[in-house]
Structure 1
Amino acid sequence: MEQASQIAFGRQDPCGRLAGTHDKWDLLAALTHAAAEFELSHRTLGVLKALLTFFPERALPAEADSAIVFPSNRRLMERLNGMPESTLRRHLAALTRLGIVSRKNSPNRKRYARRVGGDTAMAFGFDLSPLARHAARIFGAALNAKERTEHLAVLRDRVAVLRQELLDIADETAETLLDASRKLLRRKPCEAELSAMADLLRAEIASRTPEETPQAPLPAAGKMSGPVSQNERHIQDSVKNDSDSEEPQAKAPCPQPHATDGKAGNTENASDLAKVLRACPEVQAYYPGELRSWQDADRIAETLSPMMGIEMPVLSDARAAMGRKDAATAVICMLEKLGTIRSPGAYLRRLAQKARAGQFSTAPMLNALLQAGNRAEIAS
């Protein structure tokens, strides 16, 4: 029991209390946390607190008839700021019925004590020792109540986050669900209600989140001759010079192939950018000059994002998830179909989530825009 008290309230025991005694205020605090389980109202707990103030010691013993207090109803009513006597009797009866306190009645049902010298030989009134005897149950119930409260707080926050996410992407057809979730959060819902609402919000968000066109599987990469740590530098395009190798060359050096490789890499980047410009001609209206490099595309994407309603932290998150090149491509593609996107910030945030899961590529977006452009040209 002593360990349960210390765990529940994180207190040490510097006074070396006797076994079977508990701090009366710790017990009252734990009982307050677990009031719902014991069906105690705050006014009943107030009456119990008033009774505890008449016990002079802080350590409450668990032995029967060892913690009897005998205040009159008038004294109790004064300490309870004038509570009506009928109300006081009702709450005293509730405490007795629950077994938190017990009565020890005198023959005339009066509350008093007989003393011999300075010691109390016999007392009649309310015995508070059952509170100490039920300490283990009270502390356990308080811990369970604390865990339930924390769990409900997490569920409430989860529903609030999902509601805000739906609010960012939804239209007027979701007003009923948004209003129901708002009203739920204003009440004190149970765990089942919060879990059910979270499931409904997730399903609605999933139904409104745009799905990417399935992309063809990428070809398997050839086996590399060195460990991964030695090949991290190959993430960026680079041209290796012959002077980097100290091994003798079996044949005469031939620089032409290296120059050709560098041009091929630049041509590939230029062709990728050209494909983006063919698929997204709208971007040229916002950029006075010609987009010559991916650095230009990255800068124009950063300029366009606030105009489209995309906050800088969202763009930075997308850059971290998919790279600056793909992030710029995604923003430029979104500009092309901006009229069909309700919340560009939420849309880009969703694309970043897919990129982290390895489920995102700009190729389907570009191909879809190119096909739409071709159909428009044929129709005209």
Structure 2
Amino acid sequence: MESDYVTTPFGRRPMLLAMLLKQRRGEAIAAGTTRNKWKLFRSVCEARAGLDITDRALTVLDALLSFYPEDELSSDKPLVVFPSNAQLSLRARGMAAATLRRHLALLVEAGLISRKDSPNGKRYVRRSREVGIDEAYGFSLAPLLARAGEIETMAARIAADRQMLRSLKERLTIRRRDIAKLISAAVEEAVAGDWERVSSMFHSILQRIPRAATIENLTPVLKDLETIRTDIVNLLELHEKTQMASTSESQIERHIQNSQTESLSESEPRLETGTTPAGQADRDQQPGTSPHDDGPKAQTGGGEGSRLAVRPRAGELQSFPLATVLQACPDIMDYGPGGKVGSWRDLMTAAVVIRSMLAVSPSAYEAASGVMGPENAATVMACILQRGGCINSAGGYLRDLTRRTERGEFALGPMLMALLRAKSSGVSLTGTCPRLHHAASR
């Protein structure tokens, strides 16, 4: 048993208190402790970084273990091996004597083996017939067995950290690829967004990736990349929803539903062209005309007061400049990308946002886009938003306008003009909306 053995170094090497403590700690093996020496050696190899030993030192430890006659290291048996330098060098892949001594010293310093020097410094064994090995001088493997639990725990932690680091690197590589290709696709498809700024942020994050990657320095980089990727995906999904809302009527599955519409009459008169100014487009009809006539009707009066009311064909709406729409419906701009609307694409994007906010079903909006056209459908949504509390059911109102458009009974002009007049006169659109109702009911 080595548990009570303390040895001082041979020759000129001094004895230090630290050496004594290491010997005592290394020999403190719990009774009945056993380990397979090769499994324990694999754990030492796994925990090499934590034990602060080199791969050449591991080669020497491998050679020392090969001199132990059994596969199981046991606290109940002698744990000293005593090979000569020549034999040890052969099993250490021909390692030079000076290199061998240096790495033996590293193993002792790491607390994996201890020296048990003889009186003359030689390594040998004294045997007896009764007990076999009576005394052995060489290198004790007791510290290795004493630290078996510690080494195995360290090896398991290092293996888990290595697996986590590998997973982080894989995720980071995928995020880099995803972001680069998503930005490229967004630019090629002309998706609305400040892609130059996004690309600049992406490259600045990539510059933070260190050469010596660790869990600690990769985790915040990966988190920032995932944030950018999520933002890009959200923008692209919003663009896709806008595109779906802009598909042609032939690609839209019609879902005709009966919805309760606003209690107010929402029949809109047509914009009329002629000598009459646009501001008078909502005047009372001349006697003898019908608001539901499908074909154009000429009215003849006298001189400059005469005008010609021209209606578009059923299912077609006259479009208006974006500036006019935004002037009549400024509230829509708050829902555009970045809080602004600078193009029809931005307006359609904002319309998809407020569609959900106003509880308008996707099928109702898709039907409106197919009949009115995507720009006009977005304009109608902007008008509905601007009217605020005047409309009880935005979805039902939109479906009613879609049906009227199919019959040629709805035009955008009066709706926009009523909003412009209400804005210029300071009338609130969240109350009873008397002027809007007056324009719509004509």
Q: State which drifts further: 161-170 or 39-48.
A: 161-170
* Gapped regions of structure 1 (runs ≥ 5): 1-17, 215-274, 285-289, 296-335, 338-350
Pairing partner for 1:121 from 120, 125, 134: 134
> Given residue 291 of structure 1, which amino acid in structure 2 is its aligned partner?
S
2:43 matches 1:43: no
Question: What residue number does 1:316 align with?
Answer: none
Alpha carbons of structure 1 residues 210 and 98: separation in structure 2 relative to 1, 3 Å: closer
Question: What residue number does 2:160 align with?
Answer: 147
Alpha carbons of structure 1 residues 156 and 363: separation in structure 2 relative to 1, 3 Å: farther
2:36 matches 1:77: no
> Given residue 57 of structure 2, which amino acid in structure 1 is its aligned partner?
T
2:98 matches 1:86: yes
Pairing partner for 1:134 from 126, 130, 147: 147
Question: What residue number does 1:189 align with?
Answer: 213
CA distance in 1, matches of 2:83, 2:237: 79
Deviation, 1:94, is 0.9
CA distance in 2, matches of 1:68, 1:80: 18
Question: What residue number does 1:205 align with?
Answer: 229
Q: Which runs of 4+ in 1 moved over 3 A?
A: 175-185, 206-214, 360-375
Deviation, 1:26, is 1.2
Question: What residue number does 2:108 align with?
Answer: 96
Question: What residue number does 1:311 align with?
Answer: none
2:250 matches 1:291: yes
1:1-380 mapped onto 2 (5 Å cutoff):
19-62=32-75, 66-117=78-129, 119-171=132-184, 174=199, 177=202, 181=206, 184=209, 189-211=213-235, 280=246, 291=250, 294=253, 369-370=375-376
> Given residue 155 of structure 2, which amino acid in structure 1 is its aligned partner?
A
> Given residue 294 of structure 1, which amino acid in structure 2 is its aligned partner?
E
CA distance in 2, matches of 1:140, 1:109: 35
Partners of 1:162 and 1:201 within 8 A in 2? yes
Which protein has the bigger helix share?
1
- In structure 1, the residue corresponding to 2:127 is in which secondary structure? strand
Aligned length: 234
Deviation, 1:205, is 2.5
Deviation, 1:110, is 0.7
CA distance in 2, matches of 1:176, 1:72: 63
- For residues 68-115 of structure 1, the C-alpha deviation after alignment (integer angstroms, 9 at most, x for no partner) is 111112211111222122221111001111221110001111111112
Deviation, 1:292, is 7.4
CA distance in 1, matches of 2:363, 2:54: 61
Partners of 1:213 and 1:364 within 8 A in 2? no
- For residues 268-300 of structure 1, the C-alpha deviation after alignment (integer angstroms, 9 at most, x for no partner) is xxxxxxx999x74xx66xxxxx827639xxxxx
> Given residue 113 of structure 2, which amino acid in structure 1 is its aligned partner?
V
CA distance in 2, matches of 1:368, 1:90: 80
CA distance in 1, matches of 2:41, 2:216: 30
CA distance in 2, matches of 1:147, 1:364: 52
Which has the higher Rg, Structure 1 or Structure 2?
Answer: 2
CA distance in 2, matches of 1:157, 1:362: 41
CA distance in 2, matches of 1:102, 1:276: 75
- In structure 1, the residue corresponding to 2:169 is in which secondary structure? helix
> Given residue 58 of structure 1, which amino acid in structure 2 is its aligned partner?
D
> Given residue 97 of structure 1, which amino acid in structure 2 is its aligned partner?
E
- In structure 2, the residue corresponding to 1:291 is in which secondary structure? helix
Q: State which drifts further: 202-211 or 32-41.
A: 202-211
Partners of 1:113 and 1:122 within 8 A in 2? yes
Partners of 2:35 and 2:72 within 8 A in 1? yes
CA distance in 2, matches of 1:201, 1:142: 31
Deviation, 1:50, is 0.5
> What is the root-mean-square deviation of aligned Cα atoms in Å?
4.4
**TM-score after normalising by structure 2:** 0.44
Deviation, 1:177, is 3.9
> Given residue 44 of structure 1, which amino acid in structure 2 is its aligned partner?
A
CA distance in 1, matches of 2:252, 2:235: 29
Deviation, 1:133, is 1.2
CA distance in 1, matches of 2:251, 2:158: 64
> Given residue 216 of structure 2, which amino acid in structure 1 is its aligned partner?
A
Q: State which drifts further: 68-77 or 361-370.
A: 361-370
CA distance in 2, matches of 1:169, 1:292: 26
> Given residue 83 of structure 1, which amino acid in structure 2 is its aligned partner?
M
Identity over aligned pairs, percent? 29
> Given residue 113 of structure 1, which amino acid in structure 2 is its aligned partner?
V
- In structure 2, the residue corresponding to 1:141 is in which secondary structure? helix
Alpha carbons of structure 1 residues 108 and 209: separation in structure 2 relative to 1, 3 Å: same
Alpha carbons of structure 1 residues 371 and 92: separation in structure 2 relative to 1, 3 Å: same
Partners of 2:208 and 2:221 within 8 A in 1? no
* Gapped regions of structure 2 (runs ≥ 5): 1-30, 185-195, 255-343, 346-351, 383-411, 414-442
Alpha carbons of structure 1 residues 184 and 87: separation in structure 2 relative to 1, 3 Å: farther
Alpha carbons of structure 1 residues 83 and 170: separation in structure 2 relative to 1, 3 Å: same
